[in-house]
Amino acid sequence: MSEEVMVSVKNLTKSFGDLLVLDDISFDVKKHEFLCIVGPTGCGKTTFLNSLTKLYDIDRGAITLGGQPIDPKKQNIAYIFQEYSTMEWLTVEENISYGLRIKHVDKQTARQRVDHVMNIVGLSKYANYYPRQLSASMLQRVVIARAFAVEPELLLMDEPYGQLDLQLKYHLEDELINLWQTTGTTVIFITHNIEEAVYLSDRILVLTNKPTKIKQSLTNDLPRPRKVSAPDFIKLRNEVTDLIKWW
């Protein structure tokens, strides 16, 4: 991992009327870092994400990506949310190459990249299927492949595996790690699931309840592939749980 800073958030503050949601948040994300953000249920994580994507105007502070003020229209940022927002009228392959066509990537390169990501997530056999013909897990793979195909500078993920069953989640998480390691993308991954955060991240940012601040930043240098029953893993998981536990 390089020391180059990819995303820099400084004094991010946002309130809705009298309700202060984000309270002076500052942190950096290094290039090719996998950052997980966890917080208690109902912390301002949606507001936080919408501020990053410029959906909301922020009251104060600055967010930069690669030194420039963040702007999804100009910069190469990809999102993966909980809803599998595929385009129903396009095949799997067309869905995945859609972002590349919009960005006028030449056909040869596009072809290669699409094949590469489809291969990693195991969609090669389903290239000509339509979204309706696929299961939820397959759709989730399409969405992930589409995000990685554009080789984004920054990938934002908001609890993409929330509703999937555990087993499938493991498979998809492993695929995600695989893609992340081969592409060198910087990832910000927001989740409620502490075990997932420990499994995926290089670093965990723990948020407080509203008004949201950063409670702690924990480096996670457990060796990969990780094992959920390893003593170190459990130790870190319990540490994060103790920071968040409200239930």
Partner 1 sequence: MSETRKTVIECKHVSKTFYSMAGDNLVVSDLNFNVYENEFVVLFGPGQCGKSTILNLISGLESPTGGEIVVSGEKVSGPSPKRGMVYQTTNLFMWYTVMQNVEFGPKMQGVPKKIRRERAQKYIDLVGLNGFENQFPVKLSGGMQQRVGIARAYANEPELICMDEPFGHLDAQTRYLMEEEVERISNTARRTVVFVTNNAEEAIYLADRIILLHNCPTSVHKEYTVDLPRPRDYTSPEFLALREQITADMDNTL
Q: What residues line the site for partner 1 (CB under 8 A)?
A: 40-41, 135, 137, 159, 162-163, 165-168, 170, 191-194, 196, 228-229, 234, 237-238, 244, 246-247
Look at residues 155, 159, 156, 161 and name the one whose alpha carbon lies nearest to residue 137.
161
Per the listing, tokens 């993409």 go with 160
Least distance in Å: CB of 163 to partner 1? Answer: 7
How many C-beta neighbours within 10 Å does residue 229 have?
6
Per the listing, tokens 């990819």 go with 6
Closer CB to partner 1, 32 or 237, in the complex: 237
How many C-beta neighbours within 10 Å does residue 63 have?
18
Closer CB to partner 1, 173 or 196, in the complex: 196
Least distance in Å: CB of 171 to partner 1? Answer: 10
Closer CB to partner 1, 13 or 193, in the complex: 193
Look at residues 168, 164, 78, 90 and name the one whose alpha carbon lies nearest to residue 127.
90
Using an 8 Å Cβ cutoff, are 160 and 146 in contact? no
Least distance in Å: CB of 241 to partner 1? Answer: 8
Closer CB to partner 1, 2 or 163, in the complex: 163
Least distance in Å: CB of 144 to partner 1? Answer: 18
Instruction: Tell me how long the chain is.
Output: 247
Using an 8 Å Cβ cutoff, are 105 and 152 in contact? no
Closer CB to partner 1, 108 or 135, in the complex: 135
Closer CB to partner 1, 32 or 192, in the complex: 192
Least distance in Å: CB of 119 to partner 1? Answer: 22
Query: Which tokens is 163 given?
Result: 């509703």
Query: Which tokens is 114 given?
Result: 């699409």
Measured CA to CA in angstroms, residue 198 lies from 11, 34, 36, 143, 190 at distances of 26, 11, 8, 23, 12
Least distance in Å: CB of 193 to partner 1? Answer: 4
Residue 80 φ then ψ, to 5°: -130, 120
